[in-house]
Structure 1
Amino acid sequence: MGSCYQVDASWTQADKMTGLGFVLMENGKRILMGMKNCSNIASPLQAEAEAFTWAMKRMLEQGYRSVLFETDCNQLVKLFQGMEEWPVMVEVIEEIRIILTSFSSFFIAYLPRGMNQRADCLVKAARAHPEPLSLL
């Protein structure tokens, strides 16, 4: 797999907006990135899942079908792999699994937070933006 897709979310209880973002890397070079913000997300884990879902849809729109997905949310990886269960996340995980059937090959891996700096910068900028924002 030559495409590596790093995804992240930035959520705080105090902020009005949640930031979502992704960076697509191919052979160590940034190919595509996107960021958006949204409101009314209940938890950091749900924000990470929303970022992942949004980013997967954007990847499919761009024609990518074989991708390594990386996230610094270890809980999301464990939920997807069936290692943990959160009843509130069942529908979201099922939606992710359905979207993943459109990919010819994929792998979801944990990426330590310090190695996800590109996506982290995007999501923090999106969260800080006071108005609705969506950039690809």
Structure 2
Amino acid sequence: MAQKILDQGRTQGTISQEYDDDESISHLPRCQVDASWVKDSAFVGGGCVFDIEPGIHTYGSFGIDQVLFPLHAEFNILLCAMKTALQLGFSTMSFESDCLQLVKLINDEEDWPIVASERNEFDHLHTLFIDFSISFIARKHNVRADLLAKGARSQKSLFSHVNSVIPSWLASNANLFVLN
């Protein structure tokens, strides 16, 4: 099942939900995102993997201040990934998240007061893309972003790291980046 919304105006955007692994066909460039949140931590970790072309990747990891709920973390890391995509010069991007609640929230354009500030920032960033999509992917297909997110949270600091090289603190998991 896929749902699409085309924006009227400057941005031609598609927001979709994918429920069946077999139906999900990724388009390049794409960015897989994930957040790592635990209740009693001072920081949230975030990870994103930009697949630019086959075999060409850029990895992003972020340490941000703790937020109230996991949904806030997922939304904030999506915003970090959107900003990074724009800074890298991409005006077209297919984002993928294993947080179905986030994808549904964006797709359904529901008014959730608890994430109003994140939604406002999303709406602004979304207008800066010529072509934008967000879809749900199974957790098993989001391993690289998950590892980056957990590794970022374990750094226990505020930071942003974007590079074509896997962060040194994930060197022991490098083989998982090749396999996924």
1:35-54 CA distance string (max 9 Å, x none): 01122311100000000001
The answer for unaligned runs of 5 or more in structure 2 is 1-26, 163-180
One-letter amino acid matched to 2:129 = F
The answer for unaligned runs of 5 or more in structure 1 is none
1:101-136 CA distance string (max 9 Å, x none): 111101110011111000000000010113333211
Report the number of matched residues. 136
1:30 Cα deviation (Å)? 4.3
One-letter amino acid matched to 1:10 = S
1:90 Cα deviation (Å)? 2.4
Partner of 1:29: 55
Structure with a larger share of its residues in strand: 1
Q: Percent identity?
A: 34
- Does the aligned pair in 1 maintain the 2:63–2:156 contact within 8 Å? no
1:59-99 CA distance string (max 9 Å, x none): 00100111110011111111111265422112312211210
Partner of 1:109: 135
Partner of 1:50: 76
TM-score w.r.t. structure 1 length? 0.92
Instruction: Measure the CA separation in 1 of the matches of 2:116 and 2:156.
Output: 31
What secondary structure, in the 3-state scheme, does the structure 2 residue paired with 1:2 have?
A: coil
One-letter amino acid matched to 1:82 = D
Instruction: Measure the CA separation in 2 of the matches of 1:72 and 1:94.
Output: 22
| Residues 1-136 of structure 1 mapped to structure 2, 5 A cutoff | 1-82=27-108, 84-136=110-162
What secondary structure, in the 3-state scheme, does the structure 1 residue paired with 2:132 have?
A: strand
- Does the aligned pair in 2 maintain the 1:79–1:93 contact within 8 Å? no
Instruction: Measure the CA separation in 2 of the matches of 1:87 and 1:68.
Output: 26
Q: Higher relative contact order by CA 8 Å / sep ≥ 6: 1 or 2? A: 1
TM-score w.r.t. structure 2 length? 0.70
What secondary structure, in the 3-state scheme, does the structure 2 residue paired with 1:81 have?
A: helix
- Does the aligned pair in 2 maintain the 1:23–1:30 contact within 8 Å? no
Larger radius of gyration: 2
| RMSD (CA atoms) | 1.5
Instruction: Measure the CA separation in 1 of the matches of 2:63 and 2:79.
Output: 14
Deviates most, 37-46 or 117-126: 37-46
